[in-house]
Amino acid sequence: MNIPFIRHVHRGSVSVAVVLFLSSCCWSAEQAYVDSITEIKNSFHWDHVAEGVAQVAVTERVLLSEKPANLTTLNFNPSDSSLYRVREISGTSQNCVLLTTFTKKDEFWQAAVPQQDLQLRSGTGDENDLFTWVTAGSDLKTYLAENYASSLTADTVDRRMSQALGMPDLTGEEWVLASFWVPLDLVLRPAYSADIGTQISYDTLLEYSDNSYAVTDGSSGGPDFTFQDYDSTFHSGEGGFGEFVMNNQAETEMPWTAMGYTYNWNFLEDGLSGRAEDTNRASSYVGVSEFVVSAGAWVQFDSFIENDALYPYLIPEPGSLPLLIFSTGLICLWKRHRIF
């Protein structure tokens, strides 16, 4: 069905959200993935649609318990050139951040040229604007290294990427990581608080009477920021963010937390209630800090990491191996000296 709903790394990112297109192929609905959607839907104020209109939930609401204090924040820092740079986009110098999305390399991305301007639009007309879900810099790489360093293999990279970003299992689909520079004022959190420059203060978030969270500012992003919900409807104007959250909660069939992070459904693979069992599963469902880019924005393309290069990208840099070997040698020598 090719839904132009980009989630690249969760939400980090990918989100890396990215351009996430849900392609027309049919994924198997793994029980852990299905259960993750059920859990997040149980926390939303709007959880279904009737005759095209978002409806308030009628069952008891249960807030997600994980409230991390280490979300990635984005504040322009020219001394960190790996993440922030001044780039000339559309003829104007702008403070930009490097964002990454996990995406199908379709015709749109195949036409992307490094260091060249790129509009997030797959055709002519605003109706073809792309709304990307992304992660910042190397956040996704760091997350996978911290959670799967001992178990990651070339055969499991696609699955781990999918799980960490709260996406269906994309094993065999050969998606890629696409990185691009984005003006900071075109980036927001798809969360109850859209502010990218600060941590979310969960304890001060507004709540409805049913114990579900409300957005802190429905006008976040201003009248020109354009959002797109799961049903491919665009939302902009002064209340665009609030409308996006309402409709996306009611319609989404992905584990979107709205808490500033992706939902890693690998956490649920405990072998119970029909779920698969993974002895290397993540210890928490908190994935990567995720952001979104205004639909149709002009950005500057940076680079791809092709599917067959994902595993080499995620394992230790080759240059670190000699140091590792040297360090191991020193330890062995010291132990031998102690013995004698």
Q: What is the pLDDT of residues 206-241, one digit of tens each?
A: 999 999 999 999 999 999 999 999 999 999 999 999
> What is the DSSP secondary structure assignment for residue 203, as one 8-state letter?
G
Angle at which helices 139-148 and 157-164 pack, to 10 degrees? 110
Q: Is the dihedral of CA 12, 18, 24, 25 positive or negative?
A: negative
Structure pTM? Answer: 0.86
Whole-number pLDDT of residue 28: 54
Interior angle at CA 312, CA 309 and CA 313, nearest 5: 80
Whole-number pLDDT of residue 48: 96
pLDDT tens profile 5-18: 343 333 333 333 33
Q: What is the mean pLDDT of the chain?
A: 88
Whole-number pLDDT of residue 335: 36
Contact at 8 Å (CB) between 102 and 175? yes
Q: Calculate what percentage of the chain has a pLDDT beyond 90.
A: 81
Whole-number pLDDT of residue 19: 36
Contact at 8 Å (CB) between 85 and 96? yes
From residue 125, give the alpha-carbon distance in Å to each of 94, 113, 119, 295. Answer: 25, 21, 12, 12
**104 vs 2, residue with greater confidence:** 104
Contact at 8 Å (CB) between 145 and 161? no
Distance CA 109, CA 122 (A): 9
Distance CA 310, CA 194 (A): 30
